[in-house]
């Protein structure tokens, strides 16, 4: 759907902070599947954690992202996704070699523009849900950038500016589509 906008990119690059600002401005947002899965798995002592069973984690993220898309149809206006289906498919393909990007991601359209948070070492931090280091985050970013480009998306690299300026940037770029 053209009104479904993905914010993807490097872990620790400010995506969730940007989504919080867009929500504060009244836009619908969908939290990153990965963070929700980690919280649920840790609460229930599950093993579908990226550092325990990455394949189970990626498969669960695909299911959650598909469900998120169904639920988002009822929301009006722009719906901003913190990562989502393509990100989960890229992870699964990286871990298994399966053609997950082709078999899952191509069937579910989003806005042609994808906003990518570039690596930003000055703000990167590990936490309970993000236990990998910056090197792993950059490698993931490179895979995502290549996958989104291969799917024909227009990649828009987010500037390293304040969250307010980033939100303005995203909304201005999307407004250009409507003109």
Crossing angle of the two packed helices 134-150 and 85-96, in degrees rounded to 10: 110
- Supply the DSSP string of 16-37, one letter for each residue: HHHHHHHHHTT-EEE--HHHHH
| CATH class entry, domain 4-178 | alpha beta
d(CA 98, CA 144): 16
pLDDT digits (tens, 9 = 90+) for 70-116: 999 999 999 999 998 899 999 999 999 988 887 776 677 677 899 99
Which span out of 19-33, 34-48, 94-108 was modeled with the highest average pLDDT?
Answer: 19-33
pLDDT digits (tens, 9 = 90+) for 124-158: 776 666 666 778 888 999 999 999 999 889 999 99
How long a stretch of residues is the chain?
179
Model pLDDT, residue 126: 67
Would you say residue 179 has pLDDT above 50?
no
d(CA 49, CA 45): 10
Per-residue pLDDT, averaged over 62-66, amounts to: 91
The torsion angles phi and psi of 69, rounded to 5 degrees, stand at -65, -40
């Amino acid at each position: 759907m053209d009104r479904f906008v993905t914010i993807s990119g490097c872990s620790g690059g400010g995506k969730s902070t940007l989504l919080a600002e867009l929500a504060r401005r009244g836009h619908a947002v969908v939290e990153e599947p990965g963070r929700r899965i980690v919280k649920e798995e840790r609460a229930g002592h599950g093993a579908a954690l990226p550092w325990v069973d990455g394949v189970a984690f990626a498969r669960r993220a695909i299911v959650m992202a598909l469900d998120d898309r169904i639920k988002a149809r009822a929301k009006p206006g722009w719906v901003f996704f913190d990562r989502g289906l393509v990100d989960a498919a890229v992870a699964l393909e990286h871990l298994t070699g399966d053609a997950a990007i082709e078999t899952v991601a191509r069937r579910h359209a989003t806005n042609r523009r994808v906003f990518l948070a570039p690596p930003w070492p000055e703000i990167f931090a590990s936490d309970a849900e993000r236990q990998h280091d910056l090197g792993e985050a950059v490698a993931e970013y490179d895979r995502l950038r290549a996958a989104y480009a291969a799917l024909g998306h227009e990649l828009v690299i987010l500037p390293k500016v304040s969250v307010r300026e980033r939100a303005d940037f995203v909304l201005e770029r999307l407004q250009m589509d409507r003109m």
